[in-house]
Amino acid sequence: MKAVRQSRYGPPDVLEVVDLPVPEVAADQVLVRVRAASVHPGDLLLMQGRPLAMRPLFGLARPRRAVPGYDVAGVVEAVGPGVDLVEPGDEVYGQGDGSCAEYTTATQDTLAPKPSGLDFEQAAAVPMSGLTALHALRDAARIRPGQRLLVNGASGGVGSYAVQIGKMLGAHVTGVCSTRNVDLVRGLGADEVIDYTERDFTVGGEHWDVVLDNVANRSLSDLRRVLVRGGILLPNNGTAGSRWLGTLPRMVGAAASSVVVPQRTRLFVSQPSRADLVTLTEMIDAGSLEPVVDRTYPLARTADAFAYLAGGHAAGKVVITP
């Protein structure tokens, strides 16, 4: 099969398309023929081997996981004997192990039936970013109807879902984005849109109950200042920070400050879940949630897809097709 392989850390040109064997299916695994995959900032960090302090986990000199990509949409090709939730021929989406390839493996707990109203490219754009937005707002912040939510980075992968999910949870949503994405964010349902090139949302006296920060371009004190007393800050940016420690100091500082300031910081980790993928599917099928796909690249141009994502200006998701 054709697959993208990374044999060292570095910029996008470390990614090469090679011929690899089709993965073998273990007892609890599913083999998926990939019809589309999407990439996100976490894939960039793994490509670069950043932060350096994390390399003992994913490979000191080179990545242990040679094929990049998690998000996938495709067709089940084969299943192991311990699998009973999917069967060959099923159209699925979710997260696999190396989805920038013609085939990938996954566990049945990280896959769900593909939303019937989406094509494979759209479906591949949902899992990681959609689940992150859901887990942030529904679980970590526990958004309630009538609350005021600000999404910094509202046109990005997570942000575009957060705007829509925030509205579904009953929040009054303010999105922050650049000039070229104002109409996009407004079309996603935002009640207000702030163009950061014209206005700094951290000054002016406006306050929100919840701030989801996907950008980390404002200090923690600036973000706390725009929260109401008892408000919740959700820091969700893993690509900023130092070469050695990344955003870890910022996250630790945000959590520690909750002890002495009248606002709360909620750190969260989004894990793939079949049940929550089904929840997203129900939202999509009901017409309440839609993916935003910025660009689609063929597998042979995966390095270009990563380079575009690294530029930091993708609106929605970047998708790759075999």
Mean pLDDT along residues 313-317 = 94
CATH number of 129-265: 3.40.50.720, 1.10.287.610, 1.10.10.10, 3.30.1490.20? 3.40.50.720
Burial status of residue 269 (CB atoms within 10 A of its CB: 0-12, 13-18, 19 or more): exposed
Say what the pLDDT of residue 239 is. 61
Separation CA 130–CA 218 (nearest Å): 24
For residue 293, report the phi and psi dihedrals to the nearest 5 degrees: -105, 120
Separation CA 39–CA 318 (nearest Å): 6
* Domain 2-126+291-321 is found in CATH 3.90.180.10: yes
Location of each CATH 3.90.180.10 domain in the chain:
2-126+291-321
Mean pLDDT (the chain, rounded): 92
Say what the pLDDT of residue 290 is. 97
Q: Any idea what the Cα angle at residue 15 is, between residues 12 and 20, rounded to 5°?
A: 165
**Residues 6+ positions from 287 with CB-CB distance below 8 Å:** none
Location of each CATH 3.40.50.720 domain in the chain:
129-265
pLDDT tens for each residue of 55-107: 777 788 888 889 999 999 999 999 999 999 999 999 999 999 999 999 999 99
The total of other beta-carbon atoms located within 10 Å of residue 257's CB is 16
Q: Does pLDDT of 291 surpass 80?
A: yes
End-to-end C-alpha distance for the chain, whole angstroms: 10
Mean pLDDT along residues 13-23 = 97
Say what the pLDDT of residue 246 is. 56
- Name which of 116-120, 229-233, 251-255 the model is least confident about: 251-255
Q: Which residue type sits at 75? A: V
Separation CA 235–CA 13 (nearest Å): 30
pLDDT tens for each residue of 115-162: 999 999 999 999 999 999 999 999 999 999 999 999 999 999 999 999
| Residue 228 half-sphere exposure toward CB, CA atoms < 13 A | 10
Say what the pLDDT of residue 259 is. 52
Q: Give the pTM.
A: 0.94
